[in-house]
């Protein structure tokens, strides 16, 4: 298997070398790591969002933006596809590492997790561990990483601080909103994995989700970004599975339509639990529509739907 960190390193270096084009800010952190800011102090934009989506997936994907008509509302939409779903989605893009020191905290995704094995059970399940002398991580944060954070991450990844690349993203930016919608396929595979489906049986994955407008109220922006996945997002997987009836039953449980919170804009839901994500129904973290093609039988299973009404309500257009 290829090294996801080596692939992502090439993309990170492009952001560094073409920082003006991508409207990102590059600095050397206290501790020696290269920091690439895509939306905290930097302007960023759609191109930066596409690039950090690729980085988060370890370079094992392609992404592009199109315009899609959602029942009369035309929205920019990110399209994502990968032929290495288990590694690129669960092994890289999943926000599976809570980086925490006394003076810094952020959720980390990206290929650096495959060096630190965060969390280890994921890599045991997908049968992958990276080997690389460079590490690349995407940090969801509102502040630049401190020296203690750089030291912790480089130690866990087993690389020198000067070989560590930390890409910073925030939900209150265009790039941040783009990369959240770019998690649509990962959301689908995460849901299938949660329901007990072996991710190694997934051959390929593709999906799309609208990129929602950033709102001055960060809580509203968070809600809109969830709505993009829950009410506007669709995923499709090619799998190899023996039992079509069992697969059909599983897919019926997978989409966000099965959640007890379904039908309300996510901002309302999040406010009702005081933005405590742990209080949410697990089905809340699922795509609106999920489709699976069984390569062994040629049978297609589909469940869920795109909900234009809630999308419009989320945008204040209902």
Q: Kindly list the domain boundaries of the chain, sorted by start residue.
A: 4-45+86-169, 183-314
Q: What is the pLDDT of residues 55-85, one digit of tens each?
A: 999 999 999 999 999 999 999 999 999 999 9
Place 197 in a pLDDT band, splitting at 50, 70 and 90.
very high
CATH number of 183-314: 3.30.1030.10
CATH class for the domain made up of 4-45+86-169: alpha beta
| Residues 86-96 pLDDT 10s | 999 999 999 99
> What average pLDDT does this structure show over 196-213?
98
The per-residue pLDDT of the chain, averaged, comes to 96
pLDDT at residue 12 greater than cutoff 80 = yes
Q: In the prediction, which pLDDT does 311 show?
A: 97
3-state helix/strand/coil string of the chain: CCCHHHHHHHHHHHHHHCHHHHCCEEEECCCCCEEEECCCCCCCCHHHHHHHHHHHCCCCCEEEEEEEEECCEEEEEEEEEECCHHHHHHHHHCCCEEEEECCEEEEEECCCHHHHCCCHHHHHHHCCCCCCCCEEEEEECCCCCCHHHHHHHHHHHCCCHHHEEEEEECCCCHHHHHHHHCCHHHHHHHHHHHCCCCHHHEEEEEEEEECCCCCCCHHHHHHHHHHHHHCCCEEEEEECCCCHHHHHHHHHCCCHHHCCCCCCCHHHHHHHCCCCHHHCCHHHCCCCEEEEEECCCCCEEEEECCCHHHHHHHCCCC
């Amino acid at each position: 298997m290829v090294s996801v960190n080596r692939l992502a390193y090439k993309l990170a270096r492009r952001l560094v070398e073409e920082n003006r084009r991508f409207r990102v800010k590059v600095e050397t952190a206290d501790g020696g790591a290269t920091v690439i800011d895509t939306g905290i102090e930097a302007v960023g934009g759609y191109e930066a969002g596409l690039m950090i989506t690729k980085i988060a997936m370890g370079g094992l994907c392609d992404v592009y933006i199109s315009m899609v008509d959602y029942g009369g509302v035309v929205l920019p939409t990110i399209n994502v596809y990968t032929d290495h779903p288990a590694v690129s989605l669960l092994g890289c893009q999943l926000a599976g590492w809570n980086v925490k020191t006394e003076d810094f905290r952020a959720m980390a995704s990206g290929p650096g997790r495959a060096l630190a094995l965060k969390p280890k059970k994921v890599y045991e399940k997908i049968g992958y561990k990276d080997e690389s002398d460079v590490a690349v991580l995407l940090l969801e944060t509102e502040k630049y990483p401190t020296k203690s954070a750089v030291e912790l991450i480089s130690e866990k990844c087993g690389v020198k601080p000067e070989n560590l690349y930390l890409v910073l993203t925030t939900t209150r930016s265009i790039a941040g909103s783009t990369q959240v919608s770019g998690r649509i396929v990962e959301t689908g595979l995460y849901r299938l994995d949660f329901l007990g489906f072996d991710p190694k049986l997934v051959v390929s994955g593709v999906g799309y989700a609208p990129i929602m407008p950033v709102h001055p109220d960060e809580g509203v922006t968070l809600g809109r970004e969830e709505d993009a996945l829950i009410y506007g997002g669709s995923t499709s997987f090619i799998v190899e599975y023996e039992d079509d009836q069992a697969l059909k039953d599983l897919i019926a449980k997978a989409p966000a339509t099965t959640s007890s919170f379904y039908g309300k804009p996510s901002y309302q839901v999040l406010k009702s639990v005081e933005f405590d994500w742990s209080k949410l129904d697990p089905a809340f973290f699922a795509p609106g529509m999920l489709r699976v093609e069984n390569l062994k039988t040629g049978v297609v299973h589909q469940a869920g739907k795109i909900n234009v009404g809630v999308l419009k309500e989320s945008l204040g257009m209902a």
